[in-house]
A and B are shown apart, each in its own frame.
Chain A
Amino acid sequence: MKKIKNQISKIKNSGYKAKLKRIIIREEYCMGCRLCEVYCLVQHSRTKNIIKAYKGEYPKPQPRLIVEEKGQISFALQCRHCEDAPCLEACITGAMYRDEKTGAILCEENKCVGCWMCIMVCPFGVIDRNREGKKVISKCDLCIGEEIPVCVKNCPNEAIVYEEKK
């Protein structure tokens, strides 16, 4: 029994999990300015220019994160890229997949049919419908191509940090 447990923990600690960085929330420092939302929207816009993204793109691009707020507590919430991601299991077309390199959960839009099952099962409510036109989902992709996700990079108070999971 002990051997099996050891083997399981070995498997769990190997591979992508060791390399995967996560966005960690420090809600005690979130000011609720929503700059993360602004920069997320810009990053996922067509022009990637802050003024054009807001004033010149139709349909308006949408941010891939939500800011939860109640009373004085607030924090930015993005896809947690769960280890046991229910959206992966719920996806009927196999559009939702895990990126081998980063461990991020991504959606292949060509395969997505917009059945919204992932939205239903997401325990954090961070998957949204794409309102920019296509009938696909919209979620955090950890900013493909960026070293640090833009929400983390632009948080003025380091209320979200991008760190390897301890």
Chain B
Amino acid sequence: MAKRPPPTEFIIERDDEKCIACQVCVRMCSNDVHSYDAQTDTVFSDSGKCVGCHFCETICPTGAITIGRNPSEFKLNANWNAQVIKNIIKQAETGGVLLTGMGCDKPYPIYWDHIVLNASQVTNPSIDPLREPMELCTYIGRKPDKLEIDYSKKEPQLKTKLNPQLKLETPILFSAMSYGSISLNACKSLARAAGEIGTFYNTGEGGLHKELYKYSPNTIVQVASGRFGVHKEYLEAGAAIEIKIGQGAKPGIGGHLPGEKVSEEISSTRMIPQGTDALSPAPHHDIYSIEDLKQLIYALKEATRYNKPVGVKIAAVHNVAPIVSGIVRAGADFVAIDGIRGGTGAAPTVVRDNVGIPIELAIAVVDQRLREEGIRNQASIIAAGGLRNSADVIKAIALGADAVYIGTAALVAMGCSLCQSCYTGKCNWGIATQDPYLTKRLNPDIATQRLVNLLRAWSLEIKEMLGGMGINAIESLRGNREQLRGVGLSDTDLKLLGIKPAGEAW
């Protein structure tokens, strides 16, 4: 038998004592896993179709469903492990590129988990954030080299002209996720949550739907290689503009929104014909050098009368530090760097899992390089790519980032369970889909509240940790690597991260 069906990844266990055959799972699964047999009044499940999104398990009123990993094992082999074999089977069957969603899931070292934070003891007091003010407010944008103040008048006047800044109440923004890759309800939830918390969300390269214009004070609009939906009103609507060069999940390659997803609404938002594939080229066809990038940065600044910050987003790659140096010199007001664990709606698995570098190292080397060159103040750094909790955020800031982008964490707050099947367009949670049956499953009222809760919780935790270090403003932690120590890292890792090993005093 040369032909074989795709391997079964999950096994659905249905507790027959608990199953009441109410058929909620049958109605809800977009992958048609469950089916009802009226003759026997029984619900059957076809585990082979299950993607492991846990929607049925979550919604089952009696808790009768459990999703487990398929226990079927191949002969143990460190080199030819089950995933490798399964991928070859799939490719032998289809002859195609293996697609996936979300961020890299390979067990590369997670440096966050090898970095520990400091706290005050005896010689310096810690601060209780519940009793004393604690400042998380962050400004994103170009800072002046020096401040000149005119003391000749009665009140001192600031002589230096300040550049446009984004004011963040907490140093966390929502990453670029386009309308197209995620549903309009998901975009609305992100936009509303950003407004409530006092931060920003990013349109991605999907343009700005007409219903999202009202959230423009909290919107960062993206200009990507496909230039989808970029026009005068779009640029003017954003509080800032971000030029997307690369993305952590797929550095060096473009994007592809399949034609089936290009509905009437998406077609008008992206300004492309309905039903056609939305192809974002791998490079910007007008950017082949830092000088070309400078032209685009200034074209956008010119178009918006220098009223808003213009930034550049790149994927963290081997040469990230010199690249960012060039970007800052080209006039970017902020640089977003997306690490290897950054998510995506669709990417070739091989690219997602093998291209790019972890964000921890990228932040450290970029911050170091910009400081050495004396241009760190000229641009803010936004770190992205798999930040999972408030500890990752605070460590990123201590390594040198100004703020962080969260994408995956925000999606998880809205319901996502990281089944990595975004590219199928059948997201049961109503997030990564355009199917009207599915998109209504994401109620923006609920999702907004959950996002707000997440950011509020993280902000409180950050304040607690800051207070513990005896610091009362997040600005005082930025690049303050003395507050970090490495555990179980090699000398080279420590050198690149610019931190001391745990146990070594100041």
Contact = CB atoms under 8 A, between A and B. Distances in A.
Interface in A1-36: 28-35
Given A38-B22, A51-B62, A156-B59, 8 more contacts: A32-B437, A33-B24, A34-B27, A35-B61, A50-B61, A72-B440, A157-B446, A158-B443
15 contacts: A30-B440, A31-B440, A31-B441, A35-B59, A35-B61, A38-B20, A38-B22, A39-B61, A51-B18, A72-B437, A156-B59, A157-B440, A157-B443, A158-B446, A159-B443
Nearest to A27: B440
A129 B473 CA distance: 67
B22 A72 contact: no
Interface in A50-81: 50-51, 53-55, 72
Nearest to B64: A51
A50 B62 contact: yes
A151 to B, nearest CB: 12
Instruction: List the 9 closest pairs (A to B, CB-CB), nearest first.
Output: A54-B20, A29-B443, A72-B436, A31-B441, A157-B443, A38-B22, A72-B437, A33-B24, A33-B28
B21 interface: yes
Contacts of A53: 20
Interface string B431-459: 00000110011010110000000000000
Contact of A158 (B21, B59, B62, B445): B445
Interface of B: 17-18, 20-24, 27-28, 59, 61-62, 436-437, 440-441, 443, 445-446
A52 B135 CA distance: 55
Contacts of A72: 436-437, 440
Interface of A: 28-35, 38-39, 50-51, 53-55, 72, 154, 156-159
A149 to B, nearest CB: 16
A28 B440 contact: yes
Contacts of B436: 72
Contacts of A156: 59
B159 to A, nearest CB: 54
Nearest to A41: B22
A52 to B, nearest CB: 10
A154 B17 CA distance: 22
B20 A51 contact: yes
Contacts of B441: 29, 31, 157
B411 to A, nearest CB: 17
A34 B445 CA distance: 20
A68 B59 CA distance: 20
A134 B22 CA distance: 25
A32 B23 CA distance: 11
A38 B61 CA distance: 8
A53 B21 CA distance: 12
B21 A54 contact: yes
A159 B61 CA distance: 17
A54 B28 CA distance: 20
Nearest to A31: B441
B386 to A, nearest CB: 29
Contacts of A28: 440
Nearest to A161: B445
A73 B59 CA distance: 20
Contacts of A55: 20
A157 B62 CA distance: 18
Contacts of B18: 51
Contacts of B22: 34, 38, 54
A33 B59 contact: yes
Contacts of B62: 50-51
A35 B24 contact: yes
B59 A50 contact: no
B447 to A, nearest CB: 10
Contacts of A39: 61
Contacts of A31: 28, 440-441
